[in-house]
Amino acid sequence: MKWLIILFFCSYTSYVQAQTVFTTRAPESDGDKRQEYVRKVLELSLQKTEAEYGPYVLELAPPSSTMKRSFADLRRGSYENFFIRDSVSKTSLSEFEFVPFPVDLGIVGYRAAFVAKKNLLQSVTTLDDLKKHTVVQGLGWLDTKILRANGFNVETVGSYDGMFKIVASGRSDLFLRGVNELLAEWTTYKHIPGLTYDEHVLLYYPLPRFFLTSKQNKEAAKRVYRGLVMAYDDGSLQKLWRQFYGPSIDFVNLKSRRFFEIENPFLQGIDESYKKYLYRP
């Protein structure tokens, strides 16, 4: 019995040591639900490839206040196999190893707005009308550059929670969110006095988001990509996507809104093979 116990612990220790550690971002605040889907998708890709690549453990990095901080951790190699999801740009893809698969199937490019006045955008009939309104977005977000490149007046803020308060107070007119994000954020932040959401306008710009990691993690990136494709092909990724995002997409009611489209100049020259995985409303 003694030797059986020793053998068990030796085997268990070997198993734990053989696990590949992956790390991803933690939420920025108690109200931040955005990273839950990202973690679930990464975990799904690792599960799909466990037979081929072996066991894994997925850990959360300590919370950071901004994406800028997460990128600094990525450059320093602060965490083992650290993967973050970010909007695609030629700059980021040249600096980091990337997984060429749209993690949220491109739905985040369809944008609705938090506002302080329910009917603020009711009379908007042209893109120029929409551009008259100021927009608040996150520090380091690619959205800021896209919107500015298309003539929008954008201010940036480092605090995720703070952006809801800024638009509710009227210091900025719009806080644009992916239609997949709006319902969960409304449920979390509707207690803020003055905060509401627009029901009239839908803005679209292509915004695929990939997993990024250090260039030293090429094999790990190959594993994640293989797992995502496997999950997409067997439908388990779409099932997870609908579980997280379906209620919000229904809540926004895309077909009832006036639709405006702008360009994303930061996608020029990027391989477009990812487009076959994009959601088309």
From-to residues of CATH 3.40.190.10 in the chain: 19-106+208-247, 107-204
3-state SS of 28-78? CCCCCCHHHHHHHHHHHHHHHCHHHHCCEEEEECCCCCCHHHHHHHHHHCC
Decide if 127 contacts 262 (C-beta within 8 A).
Answer: yes
CA dihedral in degrees (158, 160, 165, 171; nearest 10)?
A: 40
Beta partners for 57?
A: 21
Judge contact between 205 and 146, C-beta under 8 A.
yes
Spatial contact of 155 and 172, defined as CB atoms under 8 Å apart: yes
What dihedral do alpha carbons 240, 215, 91, 29 form, nearest 10°?
Answer: 50
Q: What is the pLDDT of residue 44?
A: 98
Among 86, 115, 103, 75, which residue's Cα sits nearest to residue 195?
115
Q: Is 188 helix (H, G, I), strand (E, B) or coil?
A: helix
Place domain 107-204 in its CATH homologous superfamily.
Periplasmic binding protein-like II (3.40.190.10)
The reported pLDDT for the residue numbered 14 is: 44
Bridge partners for 86 per DSSP:
210
Entry pTM: 0.86
- Please report, in tens digits, the pLDDT of each residue of the chain (281 residues total): 554 444 444 444 444 458 999 999 988 777 777 789 999 999 999 999 999 999 999 999 987 667 788 888 999 988 999 999 999 998 889 999 999 999 999 999 999 999 999 999 999 999 999 999 999 999 888 999 999 999 999 999 988 899 999 999 999 999 999 999 999 999 999 999 999 999 999 999 999 999 999 999 999 999 999 999 999 999 999 999 999 999 999 999 999 999 999 999 999 889 999 999 999 88
Contact 206, 265 (CB under 8 A): no
- For the beta carbon of residue 195, count every other beta carbon within 10 angstroms: 19
Task: Return the CATH superfamily for domain 19-106+208-247.
Answer: Periplasmic binding protein-like II (3.40.190.10)
